[in-house]
Chains A and B, each alone.
Chain A
Amino acid sequence: MKMHGPPTRHGKDFSAVEIKGLGKTYYSGFWKTPHVGLRSLDLNVQKGEIFGFIGPNGAGKTTTIKCMLALHRPTAGQVFLLGKNARDPDSRRKVGFLPERPFFYQHLTASEFLDFYARLFAIPRNQRVRLCGELLEKVDLAHVADVPLGRFSKGMLQRAGVAQALINEPELVILDEPMSGLDPLGRMLVRDIILEQRELGRTVFFSSHILSDVQSICDRVGLIVAGELKAMGRIDTLIDRQIKHVDCTIDVPSGFAFKGEVVARQGHEHLLRVPPEKVEELLTKVMSSGGRVIQVQPARMTLEQVLVEELGKTGKGATRGSTGSDAAHREQTRT
């Protein structure tokens, strides 16, 4: 009979990941100066969804993941994985994890490597053999099953890492930068595996710098900057909410006047850039003046632009955590 232990969420109605008030402070140097890594983070990931965790370098993505898996001891707050307190090792029984830039035992062959991790889940021998074979096929490493990992390329190691993260047929898969170091084919393979997990009813929580991947496969995202969760929600709502202007192409008679930025003009046709709240007023005025509306196009922001904007608001991280694509966006804005 278990008398004491970390609290557990009872019943079936629990999130795959529940983070409440998570905080982490590091102390460094001679004077043990405190550095806040995470600041009262609240986050929920529902079962069966793909959740993308984005933010610049040093924002706290990996720290959050480490706290989730008890690799770090949080300074404050609690984490529940599949309804169980993350302090309890049993909470990780149905969790798979791939760390960022993984390094594995070089002395093991690919099949020994997977078998070792299967043993850590106490998976019976027959099942281990089946799972190892299936997963090596899935990540396209079956042909090098007996080759030591020391001879693997970076991409092959990453794929082997993905295989070990799935060895226990997890209900929750946590991937830290799973696309890093992969060529386009490798990225596609990992993306397909992530999507397949959702089809199997599993939950995927992953962090990534490659925002186009996040945008294309995630159901919801969380944006973390300087240890604080800045935004969280469905991709479409997060992006919709961020519509800054609408490009309206109109054909109006001479003398038509409206307050807005004229982007282009050709004869009676004008391309006007107006704020979203002014669109209705503009269209009414065009119609009443006898003109016609040719095209109305809301300029939806990409996830990348949302991130850049949040970084700009914070005033931190923009320089610290600029990704290549962020830099590209800033360049575009200037021109």
Chain B
Amino acid sequence: MNRIWAIAMNTYREAIRDRVLFSLLFFGAVVLVASLVVREITIGDQEKVVRGVAQGAISLFSSIIAMFLGIGLVRKELERKTIFTIASKPISRWMFLLGKYLGLLFTLAVNILLMLALYVLLMLLDQGLPHSDLLAFTVLLFVELMLLTAWATLFSTYSGPTTATAFTLSVFVIGHLADDIWLFGQQADHEWIRKLSEILYWLLPNFEIFNVQPQTVHELPIALGYVLSATGYGLGYTAAVLALAVFIFQKRDFA
């Protein structure tokens, strides 16, 4: 466990010393602050619009950071050949991959917390203490990022940076359209299209399950059972994707 932790902490240290991460975080903060400006150009329920834009910014920039870091997670180690000195130590490949993944999750958690702190500060200045369902929003956003990062890690274990980026973006977009795939199948005239859409729906990740923004923006209650089941789905799916990543990573040669 100590060795996994060492790899995780090194991954975290490398990420937080990366200027690109700070740039992304800075833009995220700018958009968050800019959400207050939106109030001035909005007609109607201005507070909801501000919450929507701010939470959307947190969600979007966290996802971009997750994809950016996830794609480079293993790829950079292979390209820079730093993997040679690590994989030649008494650690299994699954330990290496898990350590890298945990380090990335730690980085993402710190990023989310920083953005969330800024969000709470802005809300206090603008509208008062945020609704308690912000916690559910945060938990589910983090689970979504866990799953997205697991996919990015999987792609980065065997493909180049361009391919891994394209694949991860595709999974991100398809994952947010999973419900539409289901709906498309249900409206089809042919049975095989219905079946195919059902298979795809259950096979592909459903990122919309983690999206509780409509409730948090409108400050509607979110059932604990829903949060738990969505979290369970996310963790289970993440474990499966990571297991596949480990399986592929075990087999490959480090050139």
B251 touches A73 (CB 8 A): yes
Chain B residues with Cβ below 8 Å from A108 are 10, 13
A120 touches B86 (CB 8 A): yes
Within 8 A of A (CB), among B90-121: 90-92
Query: How many residues of B are in contact with the other chain, CB < 8 A?
Result: 26
B90 touches A107 (CB 8 A): no
Assuming the contacts A66-B254, A73-B251, A99-B85, asked whether A89 and B90 have C-beta atoms less than 8 A apart, the reply is yes
Stretch at the interface among B61-69, B76-84, B133-141: B76-84
Q: B3 → chain A, closest Cβ, in Å?
A: 5
A117 touches B85 (CB 8 A): yes
Q: Across the two chains, which residue of chain B brings its CB closest to A102?
A: B85
Looking at the complex, which one of A105, A119, A161 makes contact with B14 (CB distance below 8 Å)? A105
Q: A8 → chain B, closest Cβ, in Å?
A: 14
B13 touches A104 (CB 8 A): no
Say whether A327 faces chain B, with CB atoms less than 8 Å apart. no
Q: A192 → chain B, closest Cβ, in Å?
A: 22
Q: Across the two chains, which residue of chain A brings its CB closest to B16?
A: A107
Looking at the complex, which one of B3, B18, B254 makes contact with A119 (CB distance below 8 Å)? B3
Chain A residues with Cβ below 8 Å from B10 are 105, 108, 116
Say whether B190 faces chain A, with CB atoms less than 8 Å apart. no
Chain A residues with Cβ below 8 Å from B91 are 89, 120
Q: B14 → chain A, closest Cβ, in Å?
A: 5
Within 8 A of A (CB), among B1-32: 2-3, 5-7, 10, 13-14, 17-18
Chain B positions within 8 Å of A, measured between CB atoms, are 2-3, 5-7, 10, 13-14, 17-18, 80-92, 251, 253-254
Given A71-B253, A71-B254, A99-B84, list of 16 further CB < 8 A pairs? A66-B253, A69-B88, A70-B88, A71-B84, A71-B87, A71-B88, A72-B254, A89-B91, A97-B84, A97-B85, A98-B85, A107-B13, A116-B6, A120-B3, A121-B3, A122-B3
Chain A positions within 8 Å of B, measured between CB atoms, are 66, 69-73, 89-93, 95, 97-99, 101-105, 107-108, 112, 116-117, 119-122, 161, 164
